[in-house]
A and B are shown apart, each in its own frame.
Chain A
Amino acid sequence: MSNSTPTTKTAPKPIKGRSLWSDAIRRLRKRRFAMVCFFIVMLYFVLAGVIFVDEQLKESFGEKGYQGIPAFRWKESVGPSYAPPVWKSLWSEEPGQFTWTPEDSDTEETGWTSFGTDFLGQSTWRKTLYGAKTSITVAVCASFISLLIGVPLGAIAGYYRGKTDDIIVWLYTTLATIPYLILLMAFALVLKGKTVFGIPLRGATAVYLAMGLTSWVGICRLIRGEVIKRKESEYVLAARAMGCSDMRIIFFHLLPNVFHIIIINFSLRFVGFIQAEVILSFLGLGETDKPSWGGMIDAARTELARDVWWEMTAATLAVFFISLALNIFGDALRDCLDPKLRVD
Chain B
Amino acid sequence: MTAYIIRRLLYMIPIVVGVLLITFVLFTVIGGDISQQIAGKNADAETVAEIRAEYGFDKPYFKVEMAPVRESFKEDGFKAGMKSFFEGSQFLRHFKNAVTFNFGRAMDRQKISEKILQGVGPSLSLTVPMFIASLIITISLALAVAFLRGTAWDFGTVVLCVILMSVPYLSFIIFGQYIFAYKLDLFPIYYNPTEPMSFSVILPILIGIVASLGPGLRFYRTVMLDEIRSDYVRTAFAKGLTARVVLFKHVLKNAMIPIVTNVVMSLPRLVLGSLLLERFFGIPGLGYLMVESIAGRDFFVLNAMTFMMALLIVIFTLLTDICYAWVDPRVKFE
Contacts and interface: CB of A to CB of B under 8 A. Distances in A.
A and B, direct touch (CB closer than 8 Å): yes
Interface residues of A, number: 49
Contacts of B26: 186-187, 190
A199 interface: no
Given A178-B306, A178-B310, A316 B222 contact: no
A294 B225 CA distance: 36
Given A178-B306, A189-B294, A298 B170 contact: yes
Interface in A232-279: 271, 275, 278-279
Interface string A2-32: 0111100000000000000000000000000
Given A278-B169, A319-B166, A320-B166, 4 more contacts: A178-B19, A182-B309, A190-B26, A304-B178
B19 A327 contact: no
Interface stretch (B59-67, B77-85, B268-276, B321-329): B268-276
B303 to A, nearest CB: 9
Contacts of A279: 169-170, 275-276
Interface string A289-327: 000011001101100100001001000100111011001
Interface of B: 14-15, 18-19, 21-22, 26-27, 30-31, 162-163, 165-171, 174-175, 178, 182, 219, 222-223, 225-226, 258, 261-262, 269, 272, 275-276, 290-291, 294-295, 297, 299, 302, 305-306, 309-310, 313-314, 317
A286 B78 CA distance: 49
B306 A312 contact: no
Contacts of B295: 283-284
A4 B254 CA distance: 13
Contact of A170 (B15, B261, B272, B275): B15
A159 B166 CA distance: 37
A53 interface: no
Contacts of A309: 178
A263 to B, nearest CB: 19
B289 to A, nearest CB: 12
B19 A275 contact: no
B76 to A, nearest CB: 36
A275 B168 contact: yes
The 8 closest A-B pairs by CB, nearest first: A174-B18, A323-B166, A324-B166, A316-B171, A190-B30, A190-B31, A177-B310, A278-B168
A320 B223 contact: no
Contacts of A285: 294
Nearest to B309: A179
20 contacts: A4-B226, A174-B14, A174-B18, A175-B22, A177-B15, A177-B313, A178-B19, A178-B22, A178-B310, A182-B302, A182-B305, A186-B27, A187-B26, A189-B294, A190-B27, A301-B174, A312-B175, A319-B168, A327-B166, A343-B225
Contact of B19 (A177, A312, A320): A177
B39 to A, nearest CB: 19
A171 B18 CA distance: 7
Contact of A178 (B219, B297, B309): B309
A233 to B, nearest CB: 24
A44 interface: no
Contacts of A182: 272, 290, 302, 305-306, 309
Contact of A186 (B174, B226, B302, B314): B302
Contact of B222 (A5, A185, A186, A320): A5
B163 A343 contact: no
Nearest to A297: B170
Nearest to B302: A186
Interface centre among A4, A6, A278 (most CB of B within 10 A): A4
Nearest to B14: A170
A173 B11 CA distance: 11
Given A178-B22, A185-B294, A173 B30 contact: no
Nearest to A182: B306
